[in-house]
Amino acid sequence: MNPSTKIFLTGHRGMVGSAMHRALLAKGCDNLALRTRQELDLCDAAAVHAALGAEKPEVVIVGAARVGGIHANNTYPAEFIHENLASAHNLIHLSWKHGVKRLLFLGSSCIYPREAAQPLTEASLLTGPLEPTNEPYAIAKIAGLKLCQYYRKQYGVLYHSAMPTNLYGPGDNYHPENSHVLPALLRRFHEATQNGAPDVTLWGTGSPLREFLHVDDLAAGCLHLLGLDNPPDWVNIGYGSDVTIKEVAEIIRDVTGFQGELKWDTSRPDGTPRKLMSSDIIRDTGWEPKIGLREGIEQTYQSFKDELAAGTLRG
Ligand SMILES: NC(=O)c1ccc[n+]([C@@H]2O[C@H](COP(=O)([O-])OP(=O)(O)OC[C@H]3O[C@@H](n4cnc5c(N)ncnc54)[C@H](OP(=O)(O)O)[C@@H]3O)[C@@H](O)[C@H]2O)c1
């Protein structure tokens, strides 16, 4: 991507958006339009129209969305489908209206059917029922992906999508109930260590398998896609292997120095039994992850402590 290209990066305060921001600046791409949610609510079509008209970007990166773990999806289903549908439609439709030539939309691995064969391929989209615990969010993400696909087909604009696996890294949301599993575990083990607790109780059975990708690898993957002349309509971005929740909990126990016992609250939902993505297509275009899980968790724990000390920890 040409460093002088005018890029509108949404969600730059979020985990993915801030990683994209770091990656763009590292590549000398500093001709950026940025707005906080307070400055621009992406669910407000008139405000999005005005912002695109004022900034006239050449590229739009959709890093903003209403995101959360199993508990948040279960508790706020209407908000999750409304906010993610509205913000995706506003950005994709109005970007086209304003002549934006290129747009990258971010979805998630939950777009794929609950029972689809693992690893999940791009071709398994819409071949079966979704995981009920996050269906509202998944449907909004599928709609965004399809908006890009059909605006590209009808109008010839280069709108395309990336489907990341579970992400973690600096700037994550550590809300005790609404966050994703990895940041929730990091916070819980940190607090247990600080308080000298004898044990930590974790949700579910510990047996679900999950794939985790460091957000800086994801950002590099997105910039890689934005550099392709003919990217796929949608493509997975994953780490390539998965671990059980029990295994990642044990890595986090080690990294935080917790000495106590692990207990499992099996009355809490496990979610999808396994969610490993096939990343063959993006790997065939020359991208692969660089940050290993243990190294990534060590780095993320350091940024967690820094954010805590600085009073900037989210959640
Ligand atoms: N985290 C993951 O494991 C994961 C996995 C796969 C895909 N993704 C995708 O990656 C993208 C970013 O996720 P993330 O983890 O970076 O989430 P995040 O940390 O919660 O960041 C989302 C950002 O979007 C902003 N935002 C939300 N609704 C908005 C609205 N209506 N108007 C303006 N700004 C709004 C938020 O603003 P505030 O700071 O004001 O809340 C926040 O800065 C999403 O599309 C998500 O689906 C994430």
| Protein residue closest via CA to atom 13 of ligand 1 | 16
Radius of gyration of the chain (CA): 19
The pLDDT score that the predictor gives to residue 298 is: 98
pLDDT of 289 above 90: yes
CB of 290 closer than 6 A to ligand 1? no
Q: Considering only residues 102 and 178, tell me which one the structure prediction assigns the higher pLDDT.
A: 102
Q: How far is the CA of 66 from the centre of ligand 1 (A)?
A: 5
pLDDT of 315 above 90: no
In whole angstroms, how far apart are CA 196 and each of 31, 126, 189, 200, 220?
48, 48, 10, 11, 39
pLDDT of 284 above 90: yes
Residue with tokens 């998944």: 138
The pLDDT score that the predictor gives to residue 272 is: 83
pLDDT of 51 above 90: yes
Catalytic status, residue 301: no
pLDDT in tens, 228-256: 999 999 999 999 999 999 999 999 999 99
Which residues on neighbouring strands pair with residue 175, listed in sequence order?
A: none
Mean predicted confidence (pLDDT) in 76-99 = 98
Q: How far is the CA of 84 from the centre of ligand 1 (A)?
A: 10
pLDDT in tens, 256-274: 999 999 999 998 878 788 9
Q: Which candidate, 245, 46, 2, 232, places its Cα nearest to that of 125?
A: 232
Q: How far is the CA of 15 from the centre of ligand 1 (A)?
A: 7
pLDDT of 50 above 80: yes
CB of 110 closer than 6 A to ligand 1? no
Mean predicted confidence (pLDDT) in 284-294 = 98
What ligand 1 atom has the least distance to the C-alpha of 19?
16
- Contacts of residues 149-154 at CB distance under 8 Å and 24 or more positions apart, as own/partner, are 149/233, 149/234, 151/92, 151/93, 151/96, 152/233
Kindly report which listed range (20-24, 174-178, 233-237) carries the lowest average pLDDT score: 174-178
Structural contact between residues 109 and 120, judged by C-beta atoms closer than 8 angstroms:
yes
Q: Considering only residues 87 and 271, tell me which one the structure prediction assigns the higher pLDDT.
A: 87
Q: What distance in Å separates the CA atoms of residue 62 and residue 116, rounded to the nearest whole number?
A: 27
CB of 13 closer than 6 A to ligand 1? yes
pLDDT band at 70 (very low <50, low <70, confident <90, very high): confident
Going along the chain from its start, the domains and CATH numbers come out as 7-173+211-241+274-291 (3.40.50.720)
pLDDT in tens, 101-134: 999 999 999 999 999 999 999 999 999 999 988 9
pLDDT of 34 above 90: yes
pTM check: above 0.75: yes
Mean pLDDT, rounded, of the chain: 96
- Contacts of residues 197-201 at CB distance under 8 Å and 24 or more positions apart, as own/partner, are 197/260, 198/260, 198/261, 199/260, 199/261, 199/262, 199/263, 200/253, 200/258, 200/260, 200/261, 200/262, 200/263, 201/263, 201/264, 201/265
Q: How far is the CA of 175 from the centre of ligand 1 (A)?
A: 14
pLDDT of 68 above 90: no
In whole angstroms, how far apart are CA 34 and each of 59, 104, 158, 296?
12, 15, 21, 27
| Protein residue closest via CA to atom 24 of ligand 1 | 64
Q: How far is the CA of 12 from the centre of ligand 1 (A)?
A: 9
Mean predicted confidence (pLDDT) in 82-93 = 98
CB of 219 closer than 6 A to ligand 1? no
Cβ neighbours, 10 Å, residue 156: 9
Q: What distance in Å separates the CA atoms of residue 249 and residue 245, rounded to the nearest whole number?
A: 6
The pLDDT score that the predictor gives to residue 107 is: 98
The pLDDT score that the predictor gives to residue 28 is: 96
CB of 79 closer than 6 A to ligand 1? no
Mean predicted confidence (pLDDT) in 58-66 = 97
Helix (H, G, I), strand (E, B) or coil at 166: strand
**64: amino acid identity, one letter:** A
Mean predicted confidence (pLDDT) in 59-63 = 98
| Protein residue closest via CA to atom 42 of ligand 1 | 14
Mean predicted confidence (pLDDT) in 203-229 = 96
CB of 66 closer than 6 A to ligand 1? yes
CB of 43 closer than 6 A to ligand 1? yes
Cβ neighbours, 10 Å, residue 248: 23
Mean predicted confidence (pLDDT) in 61-87 = 94
pLDDT band at 155 (very low <50, low <70, confident <90, very high): very high
What ligand 1 atom has the least distance to the C-alpha of 86?
31
pLDDT in tens, 290-310: 999 999 999 999 999 999 999
The pLDDT score that the predictor gives to residue 203 is: 85
CB of 20 closer than 6 A to ligand 1? no
Catalytic residue chosen out of the listed positions 76, 112, 137, 168: 137
Both structure tokens of 181: 């599993």
The pLDDT score that the predictor gives to residue 6 is: 98
